[in-house]
Amino acid sequence: MKQKIDFYDTTLRDGSQAEDVSFSVEDKLRIYQKLDEFGIHYIEGGWPGANPKDAEFFKAARKLKLKNSRLAAFGSTHRATLKVNEDPSIMALLAAKTPVVTIFGKTWDFHVREALRISLQSNLDIIHNTVTYLKKNVDEVFYDAEHFFDGYRANPEYAIKTLQAAVDAGADYLVLCDTNGGTMPGDVYDIVKKMKKTFNVRIGIHAHNDAECAVANSVMAVQAGATQVQGTINGLGERCGNANLISVIPNLKLKLNLSCITALKLKKIKDVSRFVTEISNLRHFKRQPYVGDSAFAHKGGIHVSAIQRHPETYEHIRPEHVGNYQRVLVSDLGGRSNIIRKINDFKLKIDLDSPKVNQIVKELKDLESQGFQFEGAEASFEMLIKKTFGLHRKFFDLIGFRVIVEKRKEGEDPICEATIMLVAGGKLEHTAATGSGPVNALDNALRKALEKFYPQLKDVTLIDYKVRVLTAGEGTAKNVRVLIESGDGQHKWGTVGVSVNIIEASWQALVDSIEYKLLRG
């Protein structure tokens, strides 16, 4: 029988402590429902005694019916100066009315003496009293042994006594915490193995990523006998973050063949990752293992040629297993096989034996030597292919444009205005527009001139704008590369422009973006 693993997600608490992350109650409820749909076994909602937001979340969460998950409230052992049934924080945990309560206590004798400033025996009594009281009132009590690995290294005898206190009180899980995140995988394996032999109770792991080992430590703990892994989506968390469940889950499912989540649900893991990233108002990490946009992206021509025959030559799993897909990047490192693959990806009806394919390969290498980069600007590359094969058509002809930046008063933002003259639909258009910057003004003027002929452009928005100054070719001349990401609510696409002039480079990328939209219809 396969070892069954429980996943315990603490994105809503530990994850919310990450720098630049702040969840509203509504944010937490949306993530909560998403994690339940995904199949996470336990979802930690927060610390109800710590702030009003968490108390409000638990009140709202009780109205939602879960399909797969159990909700947990998190808190600390009772204060040394209060009896357990008199501690407001313990009462707040019970008021959350969750079927699971996770309680943490001190394991490291250093913390007991210096942080709590109580005797070692008093700390054992506090752990026992808290777990005993909670166990009488909730279905499951998980004991998080804070700083366990540091405590074990410093004083193994006492660290074990703290776990024994929780076990004697009826704890359902002993969760060993690498709170400072500095323990090495081999040590985690050895210590978890010893605790598994010492206690006849389920063992869990809660790892932090300060030494870049949280995922490895979680996997090693499981191999040593742990059956619960605590972590967060995308590794969000304080300092360097928590164990990233987005990596842990496929590692255990696909690499160790453990019973933890269905293959069907695993295919939704990229969607879960991106959903939490969006709610967190963060940028997607494109190089994230398994779910990142670059996780199955291939650039070198030899690699591309090989994966077209057998994907496993350069892919450790099939990307479809985790809801991802294979990508072939276009660059000067690639060759004819890259171009053919992209033509197929774009679904273009083109003769692949045409000498124009080799022409595109040469032109691509020439453009990249000038500073063009098409990895993040596939729309521009598709336009290049279409122009080469005569599948492109012009939607307007530029007569000229002018951009003025004027600063009238110290302390006030400059005024940016763009004037443009072009021919579209056989008619001359001469318009002007202002903007928050020169490129924004130019974009506004171009749209103003074209929207009466192509109303679908009203749906297009500029999502992202990046500028990089680079040295192109020989000598000291500096080119500027502009990458623009655009979208219309249904699709997103990237375009690129390169010039010694930032406005000209931006113009190239803007025109490609608009023409790409018009060609798509």
pLDDT at 216: 98
E strand or H helix at 145: strand 140-146
Last residue within a domain, chosen from 261, 288, 320:
261
* Domain assignment present for 132: yes
Question: What is the Cα–Cα distance from 504 to 499, expressed in whole angstroms?
Answer: 6
* Domain assignment present for 74: yes
* Domain assignment present for 321: no
Residues 210 and 66 in one domain: yes
* CATH number of the domain to which 203 belongs: 3.20.20.70
Question: What is the Cα–Cα distance from 482 to 490, expressed in whole angstroms?
Answer: 23
What whole-number percentage of the chain has pLDDT above 90?
A: 70
* Domain assignment present for 358: no
Residues 404 and 257 in one domain: no
Q: What is the DSSP string of 148-210?
A: HHHHHHH-HHHHHHHHHHHHHTT-SEEEEEETTS---HHHHHHHHHHHHHH-SSEEEEEEB-T
Q: What is the dihedral of CA 14, 17, 21, 27, to 10 degrees?
A: 50
Residues 367-377 pLDDT 10s: 878 888 786 68
Question: What is the Cα–Cα distance from 378 to 328, expressed in whole angstroms?
Answer: 10
* Domain assignment present for 314: no
Cβ proximity of 440 and 464 under 8 Å: no
Last residue within a domain, chosen from 261, 281, 315:
261
Instruction: Between 280 and 198, name the one with better pLDDT.
Output: 198
Least confident of 49-53, 182-186, 455-459: 49-53
* Domain assignment present for 204: yes
Cβ proximity of 417 and 404 under 8 Å: yes
pLDDT at 302: 67
* Domain assignment present for 486: yes
Whether the per-residue pLDDT at 341 is higher than 90: the answer is no
Residues 381-424 pLDDT 10s: 899 999 999 988 889 999 999 999 998 888 888 999 999 999 99
Question: What is the Cα–Cα distance from 61 to 18, expressed in whole angstroms?
Answer: 22
Q: Reduced to 3 states, what is the DSSP secondary structure of residue 52? A: helix
pLDDT confidence tier of residue 331, bands split at 50, 70 and 90: low
Last residue within a domain, chosen from 261, 276, 292:
261
* Distance in angstroms between the alpha carbons of the first and the last residue of the chain: 55
* Domain assignment present for 303: no
DSSP 411: T
pLDDT at 335: 63
Q: How many domains does the chain have?
A: 2
Domain carrying residue 75:
6-261
Question: What is the Cα–Cα distance from 158 to 163, expressed in whole angstroms?
Answer: 9
Whether this model's pTM surpasses 0.85 = no
* CATH number of the domain to which 491 belongs: 3.30.160.270
